[in-house]
Amino acid sequence: MVSNASRALRILTWHVHGNYLHYLSHCPHEFFVPVDEARSSRFAGTPPGFPWRSNVHEIPTERVPRLEFDCILFQNEQNYTTDQYDMLSEAQRRLPKIYLEHDPPRANPTDQRHIVEDPDVLIVHVTDFNRLMWDCGPAPVRVIEHGVAPLEEVRWSGEMRRGIVVVNNLSLRGRRLGADVFEQVRWQVPLDVAGVASESFGGLGDVPSTCLASLMSARHADRRPRHHRTGDRRRKRRLRMD
């Protein structure tokens, strides 16, 4: 018999960021993702374009209250404030709960209170910066940074003297995701952008995740600030004079 300490957990979560969910599924647990007939934004299930693993399961929203889980993993405000009451049974709402916070606060950079104010719900931030900026009140907090699985079949070649930025909906998300920084840097460094709706920035569009690593591995960017180059010339002149 497999002990409770070592068996795979049954985790209910939602599809919010496809790449994040894909890499999260590399954990040795079973993930159940609600899907509705329309595959609406909150119940998109496991959309195409990702090499989904066998431990990620789509489940119709109406079946959720009848299933057994070990943990509920919320990934956005609607999951926590609406979906858990509309979808989960009372017994499921008493299960251990984690709120995975993907973003920094938007309304106020230092004083915004997190919607989770429950000491029994763990808030997980994806960066130390986000943990610092959010006021999480009585809720316990942990930081688990983003990670990706190594791709053994892809090796960096760097034959293209161009950099690349990968971000979805950069034009809609604006300065929060560094659209202004991107615009400034690409005047100094040849720079591509890939991701959903990146065409509005003259980008490469929504590149499938299975092709993204190969696309990135061919690129490198070499930028030395002007004052470094000036310093190099001055050192060379001094060497010639000596």
**What residue spans define the domains of the chain?**
10-143, 152-242
Q: Residue type at 148? A: V
| Model pLDDT, residue 242 | 40
- What pLDDT, on a 0 to 100 scale, did the predictor assign at position 149? 75
* 43-78 burial: b if 16+ Cβ within 10 Å, else e: bbbbeeebebeeebeebebeebeeeebeebbbbbee
User: Which regions of 171-238 does DSSP assign to beta strands (E)?
Assistant: 191-194
Which contiguous run of DSSP H or E holds residue 142?
Answer: strand 141-143
Give 10-residue mean pLDDT values along the chain (242 residues): 69 92 93 95 88 95 97 97 96 98 92 97 96 97 87 83 90 88 90 91 87 87 46 43 40
In words, the CATH class of domain 10-143 is alpha beta
